[in-house]
A = this chain, B = another copy of it.
Amino acid sequence: MDKLLYGVAYYDEYMPYERLEKDVQMMKEAGINVVRIAESTWSTVEPQDGVFDFTHIDRMLAAMQKGGIKVIVGTPTYAIPTWMARKHPEILAITPSGQNQYGPRQNMDITNTDFRMYAERVIRKIMEHVKDNPAVIGYQVDNETKSYGTSGPNVQALFVKYMQAKYKTLDNINHIFGLDYWSNRINAWEDFPSMNNTINGSLSSEFAKFQRQVVTQYLGWQAAIVREYKRPDQFITQNFDLDWRGSSFGIQPDVDHFAAAKVMDIAGIDIYHPSQDKLTGAEISFGGDLTRSMKGGKNYLTIETEAQGFAQWTPYPGQLRLQAFSHLASGANMVGYWPWHSIHNSAETYWKGLLSHDFEPNPVYNEAKTIGKDFDRLSPKLINLKKKNDVAILFSNEALTGFKAFGFGWGVRTGYNEVLRQLYDGLYHMNVGCDFVDPTSLNIENYKLLVVPVLYAAPDSLLQRLNRYVKNGGHIIYTFKSGFSDENVKVRTTHQPGIINEALGIYYSQFTVPENVGLKGDDFNLKPEDKKLNTWMELITPTTAKVLAYYDHPVWGKYAAITENTYGKGLATYIGCVTTSAVTDKILADAVKKAGLWGTDQQLAFPLITKYGVNQAGKTVHYYFNYSDKEVNFIYPYGNGKELFSGASVSSNSAMQLEPWGMKIVEVN
């Protein structure tokens, strides 16, 4: 990529009146240099079965080309037209809640062969039509793809085939998944029941894994079709999305991002985050670090983020700028808003775009103009930022799903991403850059510090590998529940935490729920309320580990809560209970120091966020962001350089000041 992309999603189809020329003009004024089109417009492109109409695409391509704006074309497949639902009602997915009804997007069974036939045809028709247009720089296959819970008879049949291929015999399956329990044993393949009401969390986790494979396969299938047509200079991407809690929050349970990203040329993501007083930058950083890690540190595209979004997200002055450059600081080469204009009908009427419903300039649009100008001007300095981190978070979709099935036992069924985010946000707040790895990653051993939340389900081989990593000098922070079950989500029959107890120097076989339990015997120097525990505690006995904290409780006080163990040349920390972030912050800071990674950036702290990387010219670029409504002052500790917005020289150890929601970027000479 040779130019930072500043983009919007654009839908000529949705316009209440003819706007195209006026819109292009307004985009250009705002420095918008790329639009994303055509995704979710199948009913317009193919108004009836086999009848194609490229009017809107043609109009947009022509106007954009004329205006010098690049285009990313999306395949339209994630929302099916009315005629298809009528002709093939069976394309509407059967989920555990019954068969979907027409209306929403993402309601189809992506394994349905008729659907695949239609999807392939429309993709080929569009590709034939647009591939040679010089404005088109890339393609987005589908959008925020998942399996959407499809689990009707055909999907169940596919799953049985998958199980046959993977486990060969029913004896094997019965044993591995413990199907004798409550008479769930399967003694003939034809008896294999639907997974929709299974009580077996191991089996439901396997079904979830199978469904993620369906997604990977489907995206690979679409990408392969597009690849037959695309020019060498055009890329293929996907708009991945994150686990959602009112905004982008955590690891996506329904997609194996690392696997699915393999067939993309470049990774794309949508990141939606709280705003106004709740804007912290954590989601931008989290989503960015994850997406950059999908393809091993390659720069990525923030395909969608909010301009105005929900009413409660209407940005304060300065926030849109702060956000845009925060994406770049994590390694994004594109910042794209969804959508260009606020839509006048249907579900997302109140998910506002860069323009309000009146299409007129507004404060947010006006701020975007300054971003567009700066993107254009500073692109050579800021594009293709290379980032190198010594800390990684090991996440696992298998662990997430297994933990979702069992959680902390009965009743509480969620939490993986909450635990992961508590740790990630701790690192973010102390300005420790980090990457993400998953169990398939080959580069785990390259990091000095690994943070491993809730590795609930994992094969022996992974746990042994992590033991070796420590033995060879690595440092791991594990949380509770790690090592608990194997790759089939069968609880290990050994002491807990399974296998990794070797590196951790501890064991437990009992756990309970803390009521009025805190920590004691620690060096955390925290107030009692900050040491209160919630939800879960494991009754840990150290073998060789040093105890960092015991439980403060009349009965459980003899058990360890948090431990640290020297193992070979490395160090392994275990957090055996759910703590406040005050406690995990202490543990993280201590681990960063022990890993020799505590530097000048760590002397700053949220709301002053700093990020850095190396630009195309091989120079180091330091970003400083003020995520608060108060001015902040600090000493710039690096070598002489230039502040890029102002062009002013910056000398080492000089005082710097950031306005409320302000920022500076220093390129070191």
Contacts and interface: CB of A to CB of B under 8 A. Distances in A.
A82 B187 contact: yes
A193 B82 contact: yes
Contact of A48 (B187, B310, B346, B362): B187
Contact of A347 (B101, B199, B347, B490): B199
A182 B347 contact: yes
Contacts of A357: 491-493, 496, 509
A81 B183 CA distance: 5
Contact of A197 (B102, B177, B345, B509): B102
A490 B81 contact: no
A42 B105 CA distance: 43
B317 A555 contact: yes
Given A86-B193, A510-B356, A512-B314, A181 B406 contact: no
Contacts of A515: 276-277, 312
Chain multiplicity (copies): 3
Interface in A492-524: 492-496, 509-513, 515
B43 A183 contact: yes
Given A202-B346, A491-B342, A362 B47 contact: no
A197 B103 CA distance: 5
A447 interface: no
Contacts of A317: 555
Contact of A104 (B100, B199, B344, B555): B199
Interface string A341-375: 01111111111100011111011100000000000
A11 B547 CA distance: 38
A317 B559 CA distance: 14
A118 interface: no
A95 interface: no
Contact of A311 (B178, B351, B512): B512
Contact of A345 (B178, B190, B193): B178
A336 interface: no
A311 B181 contact: no
A598 interface: no
A102 B408 contact: no
A644 interface: no
Interface residues of A, number: 103
Interface stretch (A12-20, A158-166, A387-395): A12-20
A258 to B, nearest CB: 27
B491 A349 contact: yes
Contact of A184 (B82, B184, B185, B406): B82
B82 A181 contact: no
Interface in A7-44: 11, 13-14, 16-17, 40-44
10 contacts: A44-B183, A81-B183, A102-B194, A200-B346, A201-B346, A344-B492, A349-B491, A350-B409, A356-B509, A554-B629
Given A13-B181, A48-B188, A184-B346, 20 more contacts: A11-B181, A43-B180, A82-B192, A85-B191, A86-B191, A102-B194, A104-B197, A178-B344, A201-B345, A201-B347, A276-B512, A308-B510, A310-B409, A316-B555, A344-B485, A344-B492, A345-B489, A345-B490, A350-B406, A356-B510
Interface of A: 11, 13-14, 16-17, 40-44, 47-48, 76, 79-83, 85-86, 100-105, 175, 177-188, 190-194, 196-202, 276-277, 308, 310-312, 314, 316-317, 342-352, 356-360, 362-364, 406, 408-410, 485, 489-496, 509-513, 515, 536, 539, 554-555, 629
